[in-house]
Amino acid sequence: MKRNKEGGFTLIEMLVVVVIIATLAAMIVPRFAGRTEEAKSSAAGADIEANLASALDLYELDNGAFPTTEQGLSALRVEPTTPPVPRKWKGPYLKKRGALSDPWGNAYVYLSPGTHGGDYDLSSWGPDGVGGTPDDITNWETEEKK
């Protein structure tokens, strides 16, 4: 008997492999589908509660006050020229490059003085980009956070 020296897979073998991969994907993908929004929410929360909060605290330590609403979060990167001009700006206070935006591409909302009992209000309007909705991520206590 002569053996064919050419090796390879038959069409049926390849179809079986494709079916197996498709079956595994059908079982695994749904488990990770909702994780993207959850990860983005966690990243925005970390920015608000740690990264930006620390940078704002350092700014306040150096200059005696937080940036005004008009100066905004850009005062953490570039010395403000609008009054009140900081006395001892030693920035930049943020290493993060690029736009100061949340994981959905929207700008963080910064108000100083704050209207919710703190020195400043810092928030992300979440995936819908609309403020005042339950998906907002804030540095103050809301009904959803309780």
- pLDDT digit string, tens, across residues 79-98: 999 999 998 999 899 887 77
Residue 81 in domain: yes
Asked if residue 18 belongs to a domain, the reply is: no
Higher pLDDT, 27 or 72: 72
Give this prediction's pTM.
0.73
What CATH number should be reported for the domain holding residue 79? 3.30.700.10
- Per DSSP bridges, beta strands 137-138 and 121-124 are antiparallel
Q: Which residues contact 125 (CB under 8 A, 6 or more apart)?
A: 102, 106, 109, 131, 133, 135, 136
Domain region containing 43: 38-138
